[in-house]
Amino acid sequence: MDFYKRALELREETVAHRRWLHSHAEVGLDMPNAQAYVMEQLRNYGLEPQPCGHGVTAELGREGGRTLLLRADMDALPMTEESGEPFACPTGTAAHACGHDFHAAMLLTAAKMLKENEIALSGRIRFMFQTAEETFEGAKDMIANGVLEGVNGALAYHVGSGRMPVGLFMYNSGGTMMYSVDGFRITVHGRGAHGAYPHNSIDPINIGVHIYLALESLIAREANPGKACVLTVGNFAAGSAPNIIPDTAVLQGTLRTNDSASREKLVRRLKEVIQGTAEVYGGSAEIETISQVPPLVCDPVMTDEMVRYMKELPIPDLTPVPNTSASASEDFATIAEKVPSVYMYLSAGYMDERGDAPAHNPKVQFNEDVCPIGTACLAHCAVRWLAEHPYPPTFSPPDTSTHRPDPAGTAPAWCPQPWRFRR
């Protein structure tokens, strides 16, 4: 099947999916409307979807081959939309300002095309429609509910906004694609008092300010300048009146890095600095971890394969952009830690003023011309990867005539354990 030609034929169907999801934006783990919509569409396409944690999964293909996971997130952000689009979300509490509506829509149409082409598949394809990517909960939720059982590889795309033409695809086959993230919540405990008598207080706001400054110094003086390390405190809340020193203050932020060793050191030092600073000023601090996601590192061999497959598609001006790295984070990294995985960006921007607002901005707009591109890439790459990777792979066990069993009872190195067939 010419998947790009078919994706062009189904463009308006994909756009309709995207606009429905966009106007019915939901956030977090619990997304009942999106879950119901996705399951209904998959049933219409002849699949048998099932809930998986808070997400949705379905599968097609033939037994006896490898299984490739195609993943799409579908959650929005807790913000008011100001895009001006006629299908903007009317609630005022949620907005698809990161493009996840595109991801789910493109995967839905890809599922339809793959179902139409099911007889030609050399293995199985599992679809993963995930909630709560923005809070880094969704992938772990579905993994805990078995979405990766029997999976041999995974593929995901993310659309990108901005002043860039549609047709770019960005990837990294030799380094870190996206940074880790360790989210934290700091609760500073002091002693409240009247604003006129600060000497009777242990001011948690003052402590919080010094913690903030100490964390800035942590990055400036303890982070390896040869590695990328970013620390942001995005929330600082305390008190309810101008003349009252409160009992507590709360700071929330994130630590991101592209290096595992730097991450380990800085997470440890962050806790030490916070607690030490609070004690210096007579208070105390509790540190709560609210997210833990490793750096996203794609499988290099599999990435190069997917790039090759994409170049086979007759998509005008489809242009590779290698060595892409972003300081944002993605819970697809949790999947990439467990199975060989590929993650790419697809440009969905505009070259005029519509491309001025970035992702996570209430005014951001994404170009729907990316819909057939993403749909075709998902379907074509899945078919080609399964065709090139029959299961089990051919191998020649070594001569075992002189082999003696391991006294520990472990399997010999050539034993055909399923995990040995994963790339």
What are the pLDDT digits (tens) for 46-89? 999 999 999 999 999 998 899 999 999 999 999 999 999 999 99
Residues above pLDDT 70, as percent of the chain = 92
Q: What is the mean pLDDT of residues 156-175?
A: 96
Q: Are 24 and 37 in contact (CB under 8 A)?
A: yes
Residue 181 confidence (pLDDT) above 50 = yes
How far apart CA 189 and CA 164 sit, in angstroms, is: 48
- What per-residue confidence (pLDDT) applies to 64? 86
Query: Token pair of 325, please?
Result: 């790295």
Q: Which of 29-33, 50-54, 171-175, 378-382 has the lowest mean pLDDT?
A: 171-175
Query: Token pair of 207, please?
Result: 């402590």
Q: Domains of the chain (ranges plus CATH)?
A: 3-178+295-388 (3.40.630.10), 181-293 (3.30.70.360)
pLDDT range class, residue 410, cuts 50, 70, 90: very low
pLDDT range class, residue 397, cuts 50, 70, 90: very low
In this predicted model, what pLDDT tens digit does every residue of 345-384 receive, in sequence order?
Answer: 999 999 999 999 999 999 999 999 999 999 999 999 999 9
DSSP letters, 351-410, are SSGGGSSPTTSTT----TTHHHHHHHHHHHHHHHHHHHS-SSPP--PPP-TT----TT-P
Residues above pLDDT 90, as percent of the chain = 90
Q: 6: which residues sit within 8 A by CB, 6+ positions away?
A: 113, 116, 376
Query: What is this structure's pTM?
Result: 0.88
How far apart CA 23 and CA 83 sit, in angstroms, is: 12
How far apart CA 96 and CA 94 sit, in angstroms, is: 7
pLDDT range class, residue 43, cuts 50, 70, 90: very high
Residue 403 confidence (pLDDT) above 50 = no
Q: Which of 162-166, 218-222, 402-406 has the lowest mean pLDDT?
A: 402-406
